[in-house]
A = this chain, B = another copy of it.
Amino acid sequence: MSRKLRMGMVGGGRGAFIGAVHRMAAALDGEIELVCGAFSSNPEKSRLSGEDLYLDPDRVYGSYQEMIEKEKALPEDVRMDFVSIVTPNHVHFPPSKMALENGFHVVCDKPLCFDMEEAHALKKIVDESGLIFALTHNYTCYPLVKQAKAMVANGDLGKIRKIVVEYPQGWLSTNVEESEQKQASWRTDPARSGVAGSMGDIGTHAENLAEYISGLRIKEMCADLSTFVEGRRLDDDGSVLLRFDNGAKGILYASQISVGEENNLNIRIYGTKAGIEWGQQDPNYLTVRYQDKPMQVIRTGVGDLSEAAQAHTRLPAGHPEGYLEAFAGIYRNFAKHLQARLEGEEVNPVYDFPTVDDGVRGMQFIYKVVESGQSDEKWVSFD
């Protein structure tokens, strides 16, 4: 008989933004239970966070190492099934590695890890472990992103010619990292974030979304990266020309100094037959434009949408689903795969989620876009 899956969390203590998101996302569909955590490298903070979450104090740990070791020692019907990793980038690889090597499946925040070396190593570990590894490129789990992908795959747009993907934010338009802003602090620190700032934090989401929906692969890039805020050590804005493997052209614009922009990830894809437009801030609208007839506005839950879109829609039309629901989709799909493994069943391919391969590709994007930004060569090959 199936049961709720048991989750342990690494990171996400008091004051962390993304940890709470992961917990709400994991809880939403009733498939996952948080049973333990190492919420902070500060044991006292970890303990208080566990208390906030009504956890058994015995299962609130002072470090991920302790958590993995002690959980492994618990009876099989008690111990956690998987680890959710919600730490800054430089603490993605070590707990992922240790979890996988000790038989725990992993859900990890993006980007995959700190550098390419880790990325390749992690890919190897995942493959060898045979365990499930999900990366939370959460934006791909909106119902209408699924719909967009299905429409492209179905040929509704014809041959793709142009892709414009944007991810403007404004929250780093001043030197907030010098104040106590925790989110800003590690994201602008090369020692914790990696070689890229905005390109790693949000550029990867844009890259992932464009490739996910279009089914195309970026082949070459030409980047102009900037650091506008004085004293900042990583890029806070970038404009990138893209060339895709089918001959399509593209633009990627990711920025954290676009004042007043909130979290405006959006994409437009134009083919020979139709063009589509979707934006994360109004995620229940997908506009489809034609050259010779009225545009359509597809709405979540309205009409005969693709199986994948329906499988990611929880509510009737007109009941807006948002960021947490899309994020929860990653956990729900991960859970479906894990349940299926426990039960020896198959999973319908519409319940896909980003894997370590997407993660490696994201890391490659980060490295190559930074390389292009520093280069005088017009085009830098993606691979």
Listed in ascending order, the chain A residues whose CB lies under 8 Å from chain B are: 1-4, 17, 20-21, 23-24, 27-30, 34, 51, 53-54, 158, 161-162, 164, 166, 168-171, 173-174, 222, 224, 226, 228, 237, 239, 241, 243, 249-251, 253, 255, 257-264, 268, 270-275, 280-284, 288-299, 301-304, 314-325, 375-378
By the criterion CB–CB under 8 Å, are B275 and A315 in contact? no
Residues of B within 8 A of A30 (CB): 23-24, 27, 34, 53-54
A281 to B318, CA, bound (A): 6
A257 to B158, CA, bound (A): 13
Partner of A376, one of B253, B264, B378: B378
Query: Measured between C-beta atoms, what is the minimum distance from A257 to chain B in Å?
Result: 6
Closest chain B residue to A378, Cβ basis: B378
A290 to B280, CA, bound (A): 19
Q: Could you list 19 examples of A-B contacts with CB < 8 Å?
A: A21-B315, A24-B314, A162-B255, A162-B257, A164-B253, A170-B289, A173-B291, A222-B224, A222-B378, A226-B249, A251-B251, A251-B253, A263-B318, A288-B294, A294-B296, A294-B303, A324-B324, A324-B325, A376-B378
- Report if A2-B253 is in contact (Cβ < 8 Å); known contacts: A222-B222, A292-B303, A318-B281: no
A29 to B24, CA, bound (A): 6
A315 to B297, CA, bound (A): 24
Residues of B within 8 A of A34 (CB): 30
Query: Measured between C-beta atoms, what is the minimum distance from A112 to chain B in Å?
Result: 22
CB-CB nearest 9 A-B residue pairs? A260-B289, A262-B318, A263-B318, A322-B322, A320-B322, A319-B323, A262-B317, A293-B303, A260-B275
By the criterion CB–CB under 8 Å, are B294 and A273 in contact? no
By the criterion CB–CB under 8 Å, are A222 and B251 in contact? no
Closest chain B residue to A31, Cβ basis: B54
Residues of B within 8 A of A54 (CB): 2-4, 30
Residues of B within 8 A of A224 (CB): 222, 241, 243, 249
A211 to B155, CA, bound (A): 39
By the criterion CB–CB under 8 Å, are B173 and A272 in contact? yes
Residues of B within 8 A of A24 (CB): 28-30, 314
Closest chain B residue to A259, Cβ basis: B275
Residues of B within 8 A of A275 (CB): 170, 258-261
By the criterion CB–CB under 8 Å, are A316 and B28 in contact? no
Closest chain B residue to A327, Cβ basis: B319
Closest chain B residue to A161, Cβ basis: B228
By the criterion CB–CB under 8 Å, are A295 and B302 in contact? yes
Partner of A291, one of B170, B319, B320: B170
Residues of B within 8 A of A164 (CB): 166, 253
What would 17 more interface pairs be, CB under 8 Å, given A30-B34, A222-B241? Answer: A1-B51, A3-B54, A24-B30, A27-B27, A162-B255, A168-B270, A170-B289, A222-B378, A226-B249, A239-B250, A259-B275, A260-B274, A261-B318, A263-B319, A321-B322, A321-B324, A378-B378
